[in-house]
Amino acid sequence: MAVAVVVAGGAGTRLGHVLPKALVPLAGRPLVAWSLEVLCAVALLRRIVVVLPAGEELPDDPTAWGLAPGAWDGPDGRRVVAVPGGAERSHSVRAGLRAAGDGPPQEPVLVHDGARPMVTVDLVRACLLGVAAGADAAIAAAAVTDTVKSARAPHGAPPEPGDPVGLPRVDRTIDRSLLWSIQTPQVFRRGILAAAMDRPDVELAAATDDASLVEAAGGDVRLVPAPRTNLKVTVPEDLHLAGLLLREVGQNPAPC
């Protein structure tokens, strides 16, 4: 068995919406509800913790979010619960892990971004299998297909002194065959994730994803090939595209 943490505590500022991002409507239901529907269809997940913005809660009746009656429940009682998030993403993951309750060090913990509504049961299963096969972590990732170049200065840096053009200067072209664009879900062995999260808040705040914390601790992190359609909703164009994709592929996940 395994547990899941759904990170859904972000604001909807870049979406131009007054609601928190997790609650912004997408094809007739809150954005996060699409991920929850898929995760609820995975029988291996004994508990699903949704990390919501402070003051927000799951509705008592899942049909209010367009899910099936009883979707929050499992064979041993309440299966889907919610807790408030932290100041940064990794703080929210840590809060969700604590709310998932105790478990053995080898238990898989799945972390998913609630702003990725196109996740599938097959992708969840593949990430879980990666850890079951022996990896410390198995994370969804899409192979980079664009040509990628690195610049001499970080994003937003001022132009080089005396540069009349004023545009970022290319440093080199990177071999894209070695590059992957990281997504979620990300699955970890519980003990390894808990150890990675047991560090000062300022270090957690600097982490770009949870797998980077495990990498820094020397963990064996594997990549699970995932489709580019497993997009993250960040700006209005993403929300529009996700709606189109949902209508194209259908909206009912197959259980496993």
256 domain residue, yes or no: no
53 domain residue, yes or no: yes
155 domain residue, yes or no: no
Weakest-pLDDT range from 97-111, 133-147, 196-210? 196-210
Q: What is the pLDDT of residues 48-57, one digit of tens each?
A: 999 999 899 9
Q: What is the pLDDT of residues 223-236, one digit of tens each?
A: 999 999 999 999 99
* Number of structural domains in the chain: 1
Q: Is 248 exposed, middle or buried (0-12, 13-18, 19+ CB in 10 A)?
A: exposed
For the domain that residue 49 is a member of, what is the CATH number? 3.90.550.10
162 domain residue, yes or no: no
Q: What is the pLDDT of residues 32-50, one digit of tens each?
A: 999 999 999 999 999 999 9
β-pairing, 180-189 with 137-143?
Answer: antiparallel
CA neighbor of 119 nearest in space, from 208, 237, 7, 232: 232
Q: What are phi and psi of 47, to 5 degrees?
A: -145, 140
Is residue 91 classed as helix, strand or coil in its secondary structure? helix
User: What is the extent of the structural domain holding 48?
Assistant: 2-144+179-249
169 domain residue, yes or no: no
pLDDT at residue 248 tops 70: yes
157 domain residue, yes or no: no
Which residues partner with 44 through β-bridges? Answer: none
173 domain residue, yes or no: no
For residues 21 and 208, the model is more confident at: 21
Q: What is the pLDDT of residues 148-200, one digit of tens each?
A: 999 999 998 999 899 999 999 999 999 999 999 999 999 999 999 999 988 88
CA neighbor of 59 nearest in space, from 72, 41, 75: 72
Give the count of alpha carbons within 13 A of 170, CB side only: 6
What is the percent of the chain with per-residue pLDDT over 70, rounded to a whole number?
A: 97
Q: pLDDT band at 251, cuts 50/70/90?
A: low
- N residues, the chain: 256
Structure tokens at 227: 């489709």
> Do 65 and 30 form a contact (C-beta atoms < 8 A)?
yes
Which residues partner with 170 through β-bridges? Answer: 151
pLDDT at 256: 46
